[in-house]
Amino acid sequence: MRYSPLLYLAPFAAAITLDTSSVSSIESATSSVAQDMMSYYTGNQPGQVPGLLPGSLSCNPNVEGTYCWWEAGAMWGALINYWQYTNDTTYNNLTINALQFQRGPDNNYNPPNQSRSMGVDDQVFWAFSALDAVESNFPEAGGDNPSWLSLAQAVFNFQHDLWDPLTCGGGFRWQVFSFNAGYNLKNSISNGGNFQLSARLAYITGNSTYGDWANKVWDWMESSPLLQTDANTGTFYIWDNTDSNNNCTDVQNFVWSYNYGTMLSGAAYMYNFTNGSDLWLNRVETILNSTYSLFFPQEFGGNIMYELECEKSLNCDQDQKSFKAYLARWMAVTSVLVPSTAATIKPKLAASAAGAAGQCDGGSDGRTCGLQWTTATWDGTSGVGQQMAALSVMGSNLMTENMRPLTLRTGATSKSDPNAGVDAPSNPAATREPITTADKAGAGILTVLVICVMVGGSAWLVY
Q: What is the pLDDT of residues 220-231, one digit of tens each?
A: 999 999 999 999
Q: What is the CATH number that goes with domain 23-432? A: 1.50.10.20
Contact 242, 226 (CB under 8 A): yes
Q: For 375-418, give the secondary structure using H, E and C.
A: CCCCCCCCCHHHHHHHHHHHHHHHCCHHHCCCCCCCCCCCCCCC
Q: What is the pLDDT of residues 339-365, one digit of tens each?
A: 999 999 999 999 999 999 999 999 999
Of 231, 234, 223, nearest to 168 by C-alpha is: 223
- Predicted pLDDT at 14: 66
Please say whether the dihedral angle defined by the alpha carbons of residues 320, 325, 328 and 329, taken in this order, is positive or negative. Answer: negative
Distance of CA 197 to the CA centre of its chain: 10
Band (58; pLDDT cuts 50, 70, 90): confident
Task: Please compute the mean of the pLDDT values over residues 238-265 and round it to a whole number.
Answer: 98
- Predicted pLDDT at 428: 66
Does 2 score more than 70 pLDDT?
A: no
> How are beta strands 360-362 and 368-369 bridged, if at all?
antiparallel
Query: How far is 236 from 111, CA to CA, in rounded Å?
Result: 36
Q: What is the pLDDT of residues 75-89, one digit of tens each?
A: 999 999 999 999 999
Query: How far is 421 from 123, CA to CA, in rounded Å?
Result: 14
Task: Please compute the mean of the pLDDT values over residues 301-314 and round it to a whole number.
Answer: 97
Domain ranges of the chain: 23-432
Half-sphere exposure (CA, 13 Å, Cβ side) for 30? 32
Q: What is the pTM of this model?
A: 0.90
Of 391, 388, 383, 387, nearest to 1 by C-alpha is: 383
Q: What is the pLDDT of residues 7-23, one digit of tens each?
A: 333 334 468 999 999 99
Of 458, 321, 325, nearest to 383 by C-alpha is: 321
Task: Please compute the mean of the pLDDT values over residues 192-216 and round it to a whole number.
Answer: 98
Please say whether the dihedral angle defined by the alpha carbons of residues 326, 457, 314 and 14, taken in this order, is positive or negative. Answer: negative
Beta bridge partner(s), residue 229 = 236
